[in-house]
Structure 1
Amino acid sequence: MTAIDETFAPRTDPGTGSPRLADVPAPGSPSASAAGGHSLHPDAVAAVMSADHGDAFAVLGPHQVGPGAWEVRAILPEAQGATLVVGEQRIAFDKRHPDGFFVARIASEGRPLYEIEVTFWDGTRRRRYDPYGFGSSLNQQDIDNLREIGTNVVYTVLGAQIGRLDGIDGYRFAVWAPNARRVSVVGDFNEWDGRRHPMRLWQNGGIWELFVPGLKVGQNYKFEIRGPDGTLLPLKADPVAFAAQHPPATASVLQGTSEFAWRDSGWMATRGKRDPRHTAISIYEAHLGSWARVPDEGNRYLTYKELGERLIPYVTEMGFTHIELLPITEFPFDGSWGYQPVSLFAPTSRFGTPDDFAAFVDAAHEAGIGILLDWVPGHFPLDAHGLGQFDGTHLYEHADPRQGFHQDWGTYIYNFGRAEVSTFLAANARFWLEHYHLDGLRVDAVASMLYLDYSRRAGEWIPNQYGGNENLDAINFLRKTNEATYSHAPGTITVAEESTSWPGVSHPTYAGGLGFGFKWNMGWMHDTLQFIATDPIHRRYHHHDLTFGLLYAFSENFVLPLSHDEVVHGKGSLLGKMPGDRWQKFANLRAYFGFMWGHPGKKLLFMGGEFGQEREWNHNQSLDWHLLEDPLHRGVKDAVRDLNRLYTGTPALHSRDTEAAGFQWLVADDQDNSVIAWARQGREQGEVAIVVSNFTPVPREGYRVGVPEAGFYREAFNSDAGIYGGSNVGNMGGLHAEGTQSHGQGHSLCLTLPPLATMIFVREG
C-alpha cells in the first residue's frame, strides 16, 4: 500500500541546487559546458559515464543550444542505436561515447516533450520517456517541512511515490542524502547500473529526486550513493520504502496504489470517542512467526490471510481486546524478533504483501479487536543496506560512539537532535496509525532513549549541556511524537516500555510529562513474579512483593505486562516458574492470573502463557498447541478466557484502572497466611468487585473479609473451580454480605478460601 497517488505538480526550479536547463557543472564536478553552453565538454561526458558527476541534469536531457535549437542527451549503455521521437518527427541519435552516450538535435520553440526509441543489440525496439526530460515535482515548502516533527511529508514526499508528471505515469524517487557526491536509483529495471538514473539534488534540504516513467509495481530498487570522499557505498534500501523483499534479500519494492477497500469505517468512527483509561484493555502479545506454523509444508509461516482466519478468531474467543504484534517493520534477521528493523515503513514480507497486512488489520477491526505494534525508534542495526552511514557520513546516527552506538545490542542510536531524523521517526509513527489504521504503538526500550548513560560506565557517555544524564533531544522527540500521534489519530494509544522511575511518562506534555498514554509496570511484573516463584512456605517473608506496587500504582497509567521478555534467555516459561508439584504449578499459575486480572492496570500476556506453555518460547517453532489435549492446560486457557470476559464486562474491574479512588485495600497485612484482598469500584454507585487471593496450598474456612457495601456478592471467578482443573473448593456461587464489621467496613463476607487460588466476587443488586 503506497502513501501517495497523485498528479505531481511540474516545476523547473529545484532550488539553489543543480540547474534544470543549462549546461553548467555541479560544485566540484568537471566543467559541463564550453562557450555559451553550445557544446559539451568531454570531461563532463566522461564524468557522467563513470557515474561521478554530481549534477547529471546539467548534462542529460534537453538543453537549448541556440535560438529554437535543442540538444537531447541520454545514457543508453544497452542500445545499439536510438531515435528521438517528437510527435511525428523521428531523429537519429549520434553515439558520442563508446559506453552509450547519445546526442540528438531538434528544432523546437520550447522544451520538447519527447520519447526515445531504443534499438537493442538483438534488433528489438522499445520506446520510453526520458527521466531527464521532466522537471522537478518537489517544492521548497515540502523540503522545509522535512524538519518539522509531526508532519506527514516524509511518507508523502520521500521514497518511491507513484503518480503522474506532465501526464505521464511513473515513480518519483526522493531520498535525503545531503552529504553525498552523487545518488542514483538502481534496480532490476536498469540492470542495477548507477550510470543510468543519477538523481537531482536540492541543496536546500539535501534531497535527491528523480521522476522515472514507465516503471511497474513489484520491481526492486535501491539507491547507489557515492559518499563525500568519492567512495562508492554499499547499495542502500530506501528508508521510506513501502515494501521490501523477503529476507535475506534486501531490496526495496515498488508499490502501486492500494486497491484494498477498508471496511472498518464504523470502528474508525468510534475509536476517537473512546477514553482508553476508562475502558477494558487486555492485550495478547504475539510473534506472528511462531504463534503457529505449518509443519506439513516445511514448517512455513502462516500468511497474513491465514493469521486473519485463525489468530483473530482465537483472540476473540479468548476475550482479549487487542493484539500487540512484535515488530513487523521489515527486519533482516529472524532472531532479532523484529527489534532491529531496517525498513520502518514496510510490513514484513515474511507473511505477505502490504495489502495482505491491511486486510489482517481490517479483519481484526471487524471482529472488534484493536491492533498495536511494537515500534522501535531507539536504535537500528548495522546492516550495510540500512541507515548506518547512509550517505557516507553518520547521517541518522551520532558520530561519537558514546552517543551513537548501543553497547548491549550492537546497534546504532538515532541522533534525535537532528531535525530530519526526528521528523522521519515521528512521521513513521503517524504512518502506521493513519495508513494501516493501527490502534496504538508500544514504544520499545524508552529507558535507553531517555538516559545518556544507559548501560554505560563512567567515561563511556557524554553529559547534556547542563551536565546531566538526561537525553534532552530524545525527550523532546518523544513529547512531540506523542503530541502528533494523539492529535492526528485520536483514540489510539502510545505505550512506553520504560523500566525506571522517570516521572510523568504517561502524563500529558502540557503538565511536564512525556505524553504517553500508558506505561508498562515493570516493577509490578518483577515483584509479583518473584513472589509467585517462591515456595508457598516462604511466601510470608515476601508478602511485600504483592503489596508494594500499590504504593505507586496510580502514579502512571499502567499496563501490567507478562511479555515475551519473561519467557526467553533461560528464564523458562511462566508455568515453569511456578513452585510445587504439577497440580500446584497449574494452581499457582491460575491464581496468579486471577490476581493480575483483578489488580488495577491494563493487562498484557504473551502468547502461550494463556494455556501454560511448558517450554521456553522459541521464535523458530510454533507454540505447543497439542498441550490443549491435557485438561490442566485446557483449564488454564479457559480460566484466562473467563477472566477476560469478566474483566471487560465488569466496569468495577476496568473503568477506574488508573484512579486511586477505584481501589480500596481490605486485607493487606495477612502475610502469615499469604492472603490478600481488595475492593475495586467502578464509576457508578454500587459497582463493586472484591478480589481475594490465597497463595498457600491450605484451604481456609470462615475467613472474614470486609466489604464496602451490602448486597449479594456473586462468585464470578474462582481459579480453583473444577472446570479449570482445581479442587472445586468455593462459596456455592456467592454470598450475601453480613452486617458484621470487619477491616474497617460496615459489612463483611465469611468466605471459604480455596488453596492456591484467586476469587473475584461481583456485587449484584
Structure 2
Amino acid sequence: MNPTTRSNGGLRQRDLDALASAEHADPFAVLGPHDDGAGGQVIRTFLPGALSARVLARDDDRVLAQMEQGSLPGLFFAHVDTRSPYRLQIGWAGGEQTTEDPYSFGPQLGEMDLYLFAEGNHRDLSGRFGAQPMQVEGVDGVCFSVWAPNARRVSVVGAFNNWDGRRHLMRLRHNAGVWELFIPRLAVGETYKFEVLGRDGVLPLKADPLARATELPPSTASKVAGALGHTWQDQQWMEQRAQRHAYSAPLSIYELHAGSWRCELNEAGEVARFYNWRELAERLVPYVQELGFTHIELLPIMEHPFGGSWGYQPLSMFAPTSRYGTAEDFAAFIDACHQGGIGVILDWVPAHFPTDEHGLARFDGTALYEYDNPLEGFHQDWNTLIYNLGRNEVRGFMLASALHWLKHFHIDGLRVDAVASMLYRDYSRKAGEWVPNRHGGRENLEAIEFIRQLNDVALHEAPGALIIAEESTAWPGVSQPTQQGGLGFAYKWNMGWMHDTLHYIQNDPIHRAHHHNELSFGLVYAYSERFILPISHDEVVHGKHSLIDKMPGDRWQKFANLRAYLAFMWMHPGKKLLFMGCEFGQWREWNHDQQLDWYLLQYSEHQGVQKLVGDLNRLYRQYPALHEQDCQPQGFQWLIGDDAVNSVYAWLRWSSAGEPLLVVANFTPVPRQDYRVGVPFEGHWVELLNSDAELYAGSNMGNFGGVQAEPLPSHGQAMSLALNLPPLGVLVMRPGQ
C-alpha cells in the first residue's frame, strides 16, 4: 500500500476523486465499516465541512477511536480492533452532532419488494418505497429509495445535510435500478429531494415520485411522512358501500374544487385563505346532505405545482396537496363524508404529467416515466408528458397510486381523466405527428392493457369502489367487463349527451323545433354503456359561460330554462353529475381563485334552483323507477318523442316491479292547456314535481296536484291525461292517490 493510499484510510486516488466530485457509484464499497482481516475494522466517513470526528460505541458512547482526516478534506477514517455497532461524534463549526453512520447499515428493501417492483406488480409502493420512517437495529431513522436505473449516482439531500449531494450517496440495487439509503435520526416532517447524476451531469433536484407529503407550493421539496395517523369511524359506510354502488342504486354526484367552493374572506370580501379539510367538512357535509347528493367528486387533490391546472397536472401521485392540510386532515374529511352518508370520488390523472424540472420529466437523465419520442411522449395541447405505460415499473407506479387512494384513504371511486387521450396514439395529432402501434394501428395497446389491469386490480383489491371513465369517443365496451373484451370501467361519462343537450338548450325556443332530435338522440345509445350524465367544471369555464348564462331569453326565461334542463337531466336514464355553483344558478364562470357567489342565494330565483335540485335528488333517490333500471332499456319508454312543433317530450320511467313515473317536458315559453298524453293506468295521477312551481320561483302553472286518467286511448296507451303544461317546464307524475 503506497503512502497516499495509507494516509487516506486505504482508499485509492480514483475513489477520493469520485467522493470529492460526488460521482462515486458505490459509496458502500469505500465508506462505513470494512473488515481488516484480523477481527477489527476500518471505518471511513465523508463529512465535507466537518472539523473532527470520533467513533463511539453505540451501547455506552465509549470513545473507540479518534478519526484521522486524510488528504481529501472531510474524509475521516479510523481503525478499531473489534467489530461492534458504533456511532459518529462529529464536530462542526456550529456545534457537535452524534449520529449513527448511514454506511454501517445493510440493505433495507427485501428481494421480493424489488422483484415485484421490477415486475410492475408491487401493490403497496407507498408503504415500502420513497421515504419510510423505520427502526433498524434499534435505531430510528428514515429509509429512502428511488427508481433511477440510468443514473450514475443518486444522493438524498435536505436541510439535514445542507443540501450537499456528497454527504448521503445511495446504494444501487442493480437488479431493479432502485437506489436506497437508511439515514439514522431523521424523522417525520423532514424535507428532502434527490440529487441525481445523469449521464450528462447533475440534474435539477428531483422531488420524490413516491412522496406521501410535500411542501406547500410554490416550494417543491418532498416531506417525510409517517403512517397515516387516523382512526377510521366509517365501518358502517364501508360495509354498505358495495350495495350503495350497485348499478340499480341511485348515484348523484356533486363535483367540486376543494379550494374555491367556500373560502374564508377578509373584511374587504376577498379570499383570505382556503379552509383546511376539517373546516371544509364542517361546511360541506351538511350542505350536500341538504341537497340530497349521494356522492361528491373532487377535482384532483394530488399535489400539483400550478394551482391554475385545478389539479389536472399533478406531480405527486401519492400525496394529497398541502394546500388544505395534512394527509390526516384529508382522511378526517373523507371519514366525515362517510359518516354523513356521502361517498367520495377523486379525479385521477394517469394520462399525462407536467414538465416541471423537479418532477418526473427525464428523471434520471433519460425518458424514464415518459416515452422518449415526443411523437409518443408529448401532449401538444397541454404541454405535458405522456406516461410510458408499456414499461412495467411505470405501470406498477400508476396501479399503486390508484390503490393508495382507494385503500389507505377509503376513497369510493376514481374518475379517470382524459381516457380518450390514452386510448389513441393519434389523439389530437395530425398525420405524421404520431407513431403507430406494432400492428400499424392508432390504438395505444399499452394503455389499453393498463386500463384493463387497473379495473381488474381495483375490483379485487378495493371491492365496491367505482372506476369511472371520462371518455369522449365511440370506443366500444368502455363499461363492459374485461372478461367480455371491454375496458372494465363501472361507468362512462356521456359526453355526447352533454354536448347535444347543451346545444339544444342554448337555442332560442323559436328554433328548438329544428333541433328536436338533440334531446332525444341520447336514447338511441343510452344502453350501449353504463352512463353518467355530466355537467362538469369543463362546461362553465374558458368563455363557455356558466350554466344559467348559456340559457336564452330574459331573466325569467333563463331561470325557467335552467330548471327545465336540470329536471330533464334528472328524469333521463343515467346517473347524474353536477358541478358546484350550477345548483343555484351562478352567473359568473367558475374561478378557482374565488369562492362561489353564495350571496346570490338572497334572491328567490337562485333559491328556487337550489330547492329544485334538492327535490330532484330526493325524488331520484325515493322512486326506484328513476334509478333502478338506469342501465337497462326496459326502464324507459317513449310516449312522445316526435312533437317537434311544440317542443314537447313525454316518457315513462319504470321500476323493475312495474311502477311507472310519467315525465312531460315543454321546452317553449308557451303554456299548453289540455295537452293529451297517454298513460298505462287508470285512476288519479299525482303531480310529484313541477319545475315551474312557485316554490322554485316559477309561474306556478300546473294541474292542481293531479289529474284523473280518462279512457281515451293515446300514444299506444289505453288511458290518457289532459295536462296543463307549464312554459319551459317539466312535470313528473305517478299513478295513485
TM-score class, shorter: over 0.9
Alpha-carbon offset, residue 34 of structure 1: 8.1
Measured in 2, the distance between the counterparts of 1:274 and 1:610 equals: 23
- Which of 181, 200, 204 is matched with 2:171 structurally? 200
Measured in 2, the distance between the counterparts of 1:701 and 1:38 equals: 102
Alpha-carbon offset, residue 148 of structure 1: 4.1
Counterpart in 2 of 1:403?
Answer: 376
Alpha-carbon offset, residue 156 of structure 1: 2.3
- Which of 698, 709, 712 is matched with 1:740 structurally? 712
Alpha-carbon offset, residue 257 of structure 1: 2.7
Counterpart in 1 of 2:75?
Answer: 101
Preserved CA contact (<8 Å) 2:642 2:649: yes
**Which amino acid is the alignment partner of residue 719 of structure 1?**
S
Counterpart in 1 of 2:480?
Answer: 507
SS in 2 for 1:278: coil
Measured in 2, the distance between the counterparts of 1:377 and 1:511 equals: 24
**Which amino acid is the alignment partner of residue 250 of structure 2?**
A
- Which of 174, 185, 190 is matched with 1:219 structurally? 190
**Which amino acid is the alignment partner of residue 459 of structure 1?**
G
Post-superposition CA distance 1:525-552 (Å, at most 9, x none) = 0000011001111111100001101000
**Which amino acid is the alignment partner of residue 715 of structure 2?**
H
Counterpart in 1 of 2:138?
Answer: 167
With the length of structure 2 as denominator, give the TM-score of the two structures: 0.97
With the length of structure 1 as denominator, give the TM-score of the two structures: 0.93
Question: Are residues 1:252 and 2:184 paired?
Answer: no
**Which amino acid is the alignment partner of residue 572 of structure 1?**
H
Structure 1 residue ranges without an equivalent (≥5): 1-22, 24-30
With over 3 angstroms needed to count, the CA separation of the structure-2 counterparts of 1:508 and 1:560, relative to structure 1, is same
Measured in 1, the distance between the counterparts of 2:639 and 2:506 equals: 24
- Which of 341, 348, 351 is matched with 1:368 structurally? 341
Counterpart in 2 of 1:233?
Answer: 203
Counterpart in 1 of 2:50?
Answer: 79
**Which amino acid is the alignment partner of residue 585 of structure 2?**
G
Counterpart in 1 of 2:672?
Answer: 700
Measured in 1, the distance between the counterparts of 2:518 and 2:228 equals: 51
Counterpart in 1 of 2:652?
Answer: 679
**Which amino acid is the alignment partner of residue 740 of structure 1?**
L
SS in 2 for 1:626: helix
Preserved CA contact (<8 Å) 1:131 1:210: yes
SS in 2 for 1:727: coil
Alpha-carbon offset, residue 570 of structure 1: 0.6
How do 1:297-446 residues align onto structure 2 when only pairs under 5 Å count?
Answer: 298-446=271-419
Counterpart in 2 of 1:14?
Answer: none
Alpha-carbon offset, residue 416 of structure 1: 1.0
Structure 2 residue ranges without an equivalent (≥5): none
How do 1:563-642 residues align onto structure 2 when only pairs under 5 Å count?
Answer: 563-642=536-615
**Which amino acid is the alignment partner of residue 251 of structure 1?**
A
Preserved CA contact (<8 Å) 2:263 2:271: no
Counterpart in 2 of 1:26?
Answer: none
Measured in 2, the distance between the counterparts of 1:224 and 1:746 equals: 78
Preserved CA contact (<8 Å) 1:390 1:396: yes
**Which amino acid is the alignment partner of residue 281 of structure 1?**
L
Preserved CA contact (<8 Å) 1:718 1:758: yes
Counterpart in 2 of 1:3?
Answer: none
Alpha-carbon offset, residue 138 of structure 1: 1.3
Measured in 2, the distance between the counterparts of 1:601 and 1:113 equals: 66
**Which amino acid is the alignment partner of residue 224 of structure 2?**
L
SS in 2 for 1:272: helix
With over 3 angstroms needed to count, the CA separation of the structure-2 counterparts of 1:38 and 1:170, relative to structure 1, is closer
Aligned CA-pair RMSD: 1.8
- Which of 70, 73, 81 is matched with 2:41 structurally? 70
Measured in 2, the distance between the counterparts of 1:662 and 1:710 equals: 20
- Which of 466, 470, 489 is matched with 2:439 structurally? 466
With over 3 angstroms needed to count, the CA separation of the structure-2 counterparts of 1:763 and 1:150, relative to structure 1, is farther
Preserved CA contact (<8 Å) 2:145 2:178: yes
SS in 2 for 1:183: strand
Post-superposition CA distance 1:126-177 (Å, at most 9, x none) = 2111111110111222112114455413222221112121222111111110
With over 3 angstroms needed to count, the CA separation of the structure-2 counterparts of 1:465 and 1:753, relative to structure 1, is same
Measured in 1, the distance between the counterparts of 2:683 and 2:352 equals: 55
Measured in 1, the distance between the counterparts of 2:13 and 2:140 equals: 34
Counterpart in 2 of 1:544?
Answer: 517
Number of aligned pairs? Answer: 729
Measured in 1, the distance between the counterparts of 2:123 and 2:736 equals: 50
Preserved CA contact (<8 Å) 2:150 2:198: yes
Counterpart in 2 of 1:153?
Answer: 124
SS in 2 for 1:346: strand
How do 1:714-725 residues align onto structure 2 when only pairs under 5 Å count?
Answer: 714-725=686-697
Measured in 1, the distance between the counterparts of 2:55 and 2:721 equals: 93
Preserved CA contact (<8 Å) 1:260 1:358: yes
Q: Which moved more, 1:38-47 or 1:367-376?
A: 38-47
Measured in 1, the distance between the counterparts of 2:615 and 2:398 equals: 39
Q: Which moved more, 1:700-709 or 1:637-646?
A: 700-709
Preserved CA contact (<8 Å) 2:9 2:78: no
**Which amino acid is the alignment partner of residue 81 of structure 2?**
A
**Which amino acid is the alignment partner of residue 626 of structure 1?**
Y
SS in 1 for 2:160: coil
**Which amino acid is the alignment partner of residue 557 of structure 1?**
R
Percent identity over paired residues = 56
